[in-house]
Amino acid sequence: MDNTIGNTRSYLDFEGLGQLKGQARQDSKSAMRETAQQFEAYFLQTMMKSMRDSIVKSDLSENSTLDTYESMFDKEISVQMAKRNSIGLADMIVKSLEQQQASTVSTAEMLKMREEGGLPAAKPIPLSPKETGLPLNKEQSPVFKLPKTGPIPLSTMPMLGKNFDRSSL
């Protein structure tokens, strides 16, 4: 059985997945396009499956054979829709991946740029830093001294609207 439909193979074809890995080593751009189309097909099939699941079915239409054929039909329709670039998801994925690859610098290129003086030398990160937290500044922290008995004066606690008697608690 040939799972190739035009240029787009089925995403369930494991032999095609192996061929796609080999193609990615030879020509990464076409493999990226095909992988994006397969992802779009899978996305469309998942969307159609959830749409079918949202329909209330009667006892007459519930049948495992019918469900199997519907899922096979949805798979083929989704592959054909992805091949025709119906929603454009594959194009967006390819464009995003190409932008990421264009901005990515390899390790060898980065080291060469450092040697030529194009980049500053990396600063080592200490494994056990001396200070684990920020020191507290005692001058900035407010200190409230409350009287031991009697009402609390408003000048001490400005958030209270009146003198507050602690004995009422």
Q: Is residue 26 part of a domain?
A: yes
Q: Is residue 128 part of a domain?
A: no
pLDDT tens string 16-44:
777 777 777 787 788 888 889 889 999 99
Domain carrying residue 55: 4-115
pLDDT, greater one: 117 or 74? 74
- Would residue 51 count as lying in a domain? yes
Q: Note whether residue 121 is domain-resident.
A: no
pLDDT: is 154 or 50 the higher one? 50
Q: What is the pTM of this model?
A: 0.53
* Residue 102, domain member (yes or no): yes
DSSP string, the chain: ---EETTEEPTT-HHHHHHHHHHHHH-HHHHHHHHHHHHHHHHHHHHHHHHHHTS---TTT--HHHHHHHHHHHHHHHHHHHHTTSS-HHHHHHHHHHHHHHH---HHHHHHHHHTTSSPPPPPPPSS-S--SPPP-TTTS------SSSEEPTTT-TTSSS-EEGGG-
> For residue 7, what pLDDT is reported?
46
pLDDT digits (tens, 9 = 90+) for 69-78: 888 999 999 9
Number of domains within the chain: 1
In a domain, 156, yes or no: no
Residue 129 lies in a domain: no
Q: Is residue 76 part of a domain?
A: yes
